[in-house]
Amino acid sequence: MRRKLIVGNWKMHGDIHSNQVLLNKLIEGLHDLNDADYVVCVPNPYLSQARDLLHKTNIAWGGQNVNQHEQGAFTGAVAPHMLTDFGCSYVLLGHSERRSIFHETNLTASARFEAAINAGLTPIFCVGETLAEHDAGLTEVIVASQMDAVMATLDENEFALAIKLNMVFAYEPVWAIGSGKTASPEHAQIVHHFMRNRIAKRNQDAAKKVRILYGGSLKAKNAEDLFSMPDVDGGLVGGASLLADEFIAICRIANKYEQT
């Protein structure tokens, strides 16, 4: 079994005071957990705060997006080295909110993936279908197109680099995000297995190693059933990552699974 990974996506929440309270609770609540990995993806202005508080802990931090360019006239954008300058090891990419609200596409998300790995960041690439696509039976078609965009963008050297950086994928059905409706463990397993097969088409060893997270109304009460599925390697947590006790409880569940 792959080592579990829990990632909190704070989205556009928090302020300097509430972050400090939350991060201090996480440091305290997670410090004795050694059998899984923990990450918080905070809004960019708080990266230095995350670095200052987390740098000697077992909690890593990351950004919620990155631009594909190294520098230039891209007002409001953040380059990959700007995240690594603040000690980020991870970055979320292709989140459905980026796709639907900010019009990012498979093409731009894949270009960002490429730029992220070239800067040494571990990408967490999000895929998932909308409710209409789900109801039309298009889940695998959509997920395949999102996965294949990344696979097609990376050349052999970049693919090797992505493996070395332990690239992560996340299945986040759009209909489950913030809705209180969680995918059933069986549905998540089918899609995660499908995603792993998609990676295996490119490289079988990589497919065995890559962690695939589930996201979408993940809470402490449903984490155990989801994490028990063989292809669910942890979670990408939105709302519940803002509640210290809830996030710690999810991390504690992940920590119970032994790596083999």
Catalytic pick among 95, 97, 129, 192: 95
Q: Is 172 labeled as catalytic in the residue annotation?
A: yes
Q: Under 8 Å CB-to-CB from 3, ≥6 apart: which residues?
A: 35, 36, 37, 211, 233, 259
Q: Is 62 in the site for ligand 13P (CB under 6 A)?
A: no
Query: Could you say which of 4, 6, 9, 168 contacts ligand 13P (CB under 6 A)?
Result: 9
| Diameter over CA atoms, the chain | 48
Q: Is 216 in the site for ligand 13P (CB under 6 A)?
A: yes
Q: Is 38 helix (H, G, I), strand (E, B) or coil?
A: strand
Q: Is 177 in the site for ligand 13P (CB under 6 A)?
A: yes
> What minimum distance in Å lies between the beta carbon of 102 and ligand 13P?
14
Query: Could you say which of 237, 248, 251, 253 contacts ligand 13P (CB under 6 A)?
Result: 237
> What minimum distance in Å lies between the beta carbon of 96 and ligand 13P?
7
Residue showing the smallest CB distance to ligand 13P in the complex: 238
Q: Could you give the CA distance from residue 86 to residue 222 in angstroms, rounded to a whole number?
A: 33
Query: Could you say which of 238, 251, 255, 257 contacts ligand 13P (CB under 6 A)?
Result: 238
Look at the block and give the residue holding tokens 């294949």.
Answer: 148
Amino acid at 139: T
Q: Could you give the CA distance from residue 125 to residue 101 in angstroms, rounded to a whole number?
A: 17
Q: Could you give the CA distance from residue 119 to residue 115 in angstroms, rounded to a whole number?
A: 6
Query: Could you say which of 117, 147, 188, 218 contacts ligand 13P (CB under 6 A)?
Result: 218
253's tokens? 């569940």
Q: Could you give the CA distance from residue 228 to residue 69 in angstroms, rounded to a whole number?
A: 39
Site for ligand 13P in 69-108 (CB under 6 A): 95
Catalytic pick among 97, 104, 129, 172: 172
Site for ligand 13P in 116-175 (CB under 6 A): 172
Which window, 30-38, 135-143, 188-196, 236-244, contacts ligand 13P (CB under 6 A)? 236-244
Q: Is 17 labeled as catalytic in the residue annotation?
A: no
Element (H, E) at 101: helix 96-101
Query: Could you say which of 143, 236, 250, 253 contacts ligand 13P (CB under 6 A)?
Result: 236
Which window, 102-110, 132-140, 203-211, 212-220, contacts ligand 13P (CB under 6 A)? 212-220
* Other CB atoms within 10 Å distance of the CB of residue 113: 26
Q: Which one, of 32, 33, 14, lies nearest residue 23 by Cα?
A: 14
In a 13 Å sphere around the CA of 32, the CA atoms on its Cβ side amount to 3
- Considering the complex, state which of residue 4 and residue 159 has its C-beta at the smaller distance from ligand 13P: 4
> What are the residue numbers of the active site?
95, 172
Binding site for ligand 13P (CB under 6 A): 9, 95, 172, 177-178, 215-218, 236-240
